[in-house]
Amino acid sequence: MFTGIITDVGEIIELEKRGDLRARIKTNYDAKGIAFGASIACDGICLTAVDFGDNWFDVEISAETVSKTIIGSGLWEINYKVNLERSLKVGDELGGHIVSGHVDGIATVSSIVDEGDSTRFTFEAPMELARFIAPKGSVALNGTSLTVNEVKENAFGINLVPHTKKVTSWNKTQVGDPINLEIDTLARYVARLAEYQ
């Protein structure tokens, strides 16, 4: 369980194809404080830490995860910047929204426009997920908890304030980039219940 509040921007420093894909991610986290088997959201994907060094941790990524996330698009390569969040602990501040780290699909950046000091991003989502996205609702995009400004069919917009751009990998994002999309868990269950009304 996560909140979508990014606490570090890591960097992929090794990739190795074994039975599954293994990635080594450089981090500012104290590796001594990461337990073997701990969950860490990497660009919004809940992954399991399986090895550690002074300033890095390793994760193993199944073929299923590769196929359902931006990892399969080829973006994850050496020097790629990754939004990181440690799992939520009892008593932690819930500053974003409840995020599971289970990516629902891939959205695509269709436009990026500066608006004052903020930046407006517009995305296109898969049609089967677009119905769960509502104005003033929440989404997790590459692990970042964000508020939806507007929705039109399968397109939706969000604004990033300067702080978010500074402490995440969003300042590297370009038009056409694929983005991990996790819809709001509450929206999913409300929609499911409505099917039985």
Residue at 100 is within a domain:
no
Closest CA to 2 of 102, 117, 80: 102
Indicate if 25 and 76 belong to the same structural domain: yes
Point out the least confidently predicted range of 19-23, 81-85, 189-193.
Answer: 189-193
Contacts of 89 (CB under 8 A, 6+ apart): none
Q: Are residues 150 and 75 in the same domain?
A: no
List pLDDT tens digits, range 49-74.
999 999 999 999 999 999 999 999 98
Single pTM value for the model:
0.93
Q: Is 187 exposed, middle or buried (0-12, 13-18, 19+ CB in 10 A)?
A: middle
Residues 117 and 157 in one domain: yes
* Average pLDDT score over residue span 15-43: 94
Domain that holds residue 174: 105-194
Asked whether residue 73 falls in the same domain as residue 119, the answer is: no
Last residue of a domain, one of 55, 86, 117: 86
- Assess whether pLDDT exceeds 90 at residue 126: yes
